[in-house]
Structure 1
């Protein structure tokens, strides 16, 4: 099956599980603020653009859901938006709850995701049936024309795998002495970009088969402005800082040089224009909205050094543990915190050359 074949080529990079101090659930609030910020935009776009079929169960998928709580906020916003559209389309204002479509929500992530934590955290007052769907979203995970609404936030910057050239010592893209592409040579950057292009082609091809005509896909992605070098993005600076810490640990004999040289973080920050190009090349979706979102702060306050460190640890901790061993984690992030203090957390958390952008795509009619 196509879904099985695609899944074999996609590696899993789970966020830190559970509900401890370093868990993703407790360190992703800044992303949740962005999801809440676009609520009114979602209501408007879904009301105007979505073609719903109230006589059928309404299928929603959240791709790359992780373990919450952001996925639950996003799903609530989506359902509120669909209900608003349905109620506003009725001639009478006496629409009852029983007349609204039944919602089936599918929470998708890799098999290594902490689905137990996810389902333990499900809101008690939810207005939907919940199911988990394991598998990489770079392949097929749903039947043909089954989804009405798809959401994916802060997941598409994760590549399906580290570009193979980076691990080949004979390749000009061998990334010796670095853990990311942003401060590397042109060949490394090209390898990351090529992997991103392959992944996005697979992502859009799969969704084009799974989403009904007239259905919508809402994407929120971390990105970078066109024309800005990748080394200038705050998020990438944070990853480069991880590399700096690991290099220092190599010099101290804590981490082997071979292990260090074989480690690369599989993320790529795309520009809105790169996403637009991928959508046009796929040809199955119309771009209903593509806009850069304003920087928003948690409770109006910038992240401090501890919060930045915990956020990066919750995101990369499992990946680093798998490669270097659990015994390195505390030392690495103690050093990371020190370095964040030296350069000031705003250089990572609030750099203006990192951006979040929103894309709303509508499945075009199938041409016969």
Structure 2
């Protein structure tokens, strides 16, 4: 359920249903979806005002950054079951219309082919960036997004500008980079969340809900936590490939991954600055005891490939053979060598569940 961007445009998760597809390599993201279910039940039970949509009307739900499934279908099932339960106490339920959103280049064909045959809703695809308006004013009752808002709309321009103090030569992320690089990422994230919240404020009905899971790190935590080590090691592999003549070093210097992990304090501040939503709850749904040790280095590599293959191919213009060498040999080997420290760092990351209500 992610959306990815680069300086040259939106790049989706790997489509289709093959071995390297996102559909077959998103079980780690499924953990977040499963852990969200009880919070969704609570959010709808406690904060959904059924008067925002009389049972004779259509209840409209949007899933932003849906990718190709199956996680989006599970999330929509969880939401609709919770809404049905709430409405059943008043005698009847409305019909449901679910809008699946991702970039226009997303594999909507695979998404539609794999729709559950007995789905209790009408389905539609909505192409476009969720950092912009996607729906008419005051038409949505619930907006949901999982595993998506850590993607930036673009790589911060400063990190690829050779004349900027934030130029990120030799690295592909702000992890362990100069503070100016981190500042550029943070500023881009703030700009993107501001645009996201402004668009949703226009689209959601008064007292409608927004249910978001957001990848994050604890307040005051070092920036290398979370996905940083995974990306950092990927950058080392790309530099190795440049040294072997498989990639151009200048291309590696200009390659940066548009991912940012916020903190609870930063996210709260951004929502409050928007002034259109009440923060009902912010919950950490991925506690430290989450057992990451059961996941192999190759599994992490396969999941990273499903997310990053399109971005890397576009930027470097490399062949399938080069991609195979990266994700079947170099990357899993480096991950294996660093797995203990990697898991220790990732185990300290968090996932925030935000329950927001439109004022």
Asked if residue 102 in structure 1 is aligned to residue 95 in structure 2, the reply is: yes
In the alignment, the residues of structure 2 paired with residue 357 and residue 116 of structure 1 have an alpha-carbon distance, to the nearest angstrom, of: 31
Quote the offset at 1:41 in angstroms: 1.8
Q: What is the Cα-based RMSD across aligned positions, in Å?
A: 1.9
Bigger mean CA offset, 58-67 vs 28-37: 28-37
Q: 2:109 aligns to what?
A: 116
Q: Distance in 2 between matches of 1:352 and 1:33?
A: 14
Q: Would you say the 8 A contact 2:292–2:343 is kept in 1?
A: no
Distance of 1:13 and 1:193 partners within structure 2: 21
Structure 1 residues 181-236: Cα deviation after superposition (integer angstroms, max 9, x where no partner): 111101100000000000000000000000001100000011111111111x1411
Q: 2:307 aligns with which of 294, 307, 315?
A: 315
Residue matched to 2:22 = 24
Q: Distance in 2 between matches of 1:256 and 1:301?
A: 35
SS at match of 2:227: helix
Alignment of 1:134-145 (within 5 A): 134-145=127-138
Matched, 1:130 2:123: yes
**Is residue 83 of structure 1 aligned with residue 76 of structure 2?**
no
User: How many angstroms does 1:351 deviate by?
Assistant: 2.2
**Structure 1 residues 314-339: Cα deviation after superposition (integer angstroms, max 9, x where no partner):** 11111001111242211221200111
Structure 1 residue ranges, 4+ long, deviating more than 3 angstroms after superposition: 295-301
CA distance in 1, matches of 2:130, 2:286: 27
* 8 Å contact from structure 2 (residues 208, 357) kept in 1: yes
Gap regions ≥5 residues in structure 2: none
- CA change 1:299–1:180 in 2 (3 A) is closer
Q: How many residue pairs get matched?
A: 348
The CA distance in 1 between the partners of 2:8 and 2:189, in whole Å, is: 12
The one of 19, 41, 54 aligned to 1:43: 41
Per the TM alignment, residue 55 of structure 1 is displaced from its structure 2 partner at its CA by 2.6
How does 1:207-356 map onto structure 2 within 5 Å? 207-231=200-224, 233-295=225-287, 302-327=294-319, 328-333=322-327, 334-344=329-339, 347-348=342-343, 351-356=346-351
Structure 1 position 343, deviation (Å) = 1.3
CA distance in 1, matches of 2:340, 2:16: 26
2:359 aligned with 1:361: no
Q: CA deviation at 1:243?
A: 0.4
Distance in 2, matches of 1:228 and 1:25, equals 32
1:31-85 deviation line (CA, Å, top 9, x unaligned): 1122122212211211111122223100000000000000000000110111111
Alignment CA distance shift 1:299-1:268 (3 Å): closer
- The answer (yes or no) to whether the contact 2:293–2:343 under 8 Å persists in 1 is no
Contact kept? 1:303, 1:349, Cα under 8 Å: no
**Alpha-carbon distance change, 251 to 10 in structure 1, aligned in 2, over 3 angstroms:** closer
Residues 330/183 of structure 1: CA separation in 2 closer, same or farther (3 Å cut): same
Structure 1 distance, partners of 2:252, 2:307, is 19
SS in 2 for 1:12: strand
Q: Is the 8 A contact 1:63 1:109 kept in 2?
A: yes
Q: Are the equivalent residues in 2 in contact too, given 1:177–1:247 (CA < 8 A)?
A: yes
The corresponding residue for 2:57 is 56
**CA distance in 1: counterparts of 2:79 and 2:21, whole angstroms:** 25
Q: 2:288·2:347 contact (CA, 8 Å) conserved in 1? A: no
- CA distance 1:243–1:348, change in 2 (3 Å): farther
Q: 2:152 matched to 1:159?
A: yes
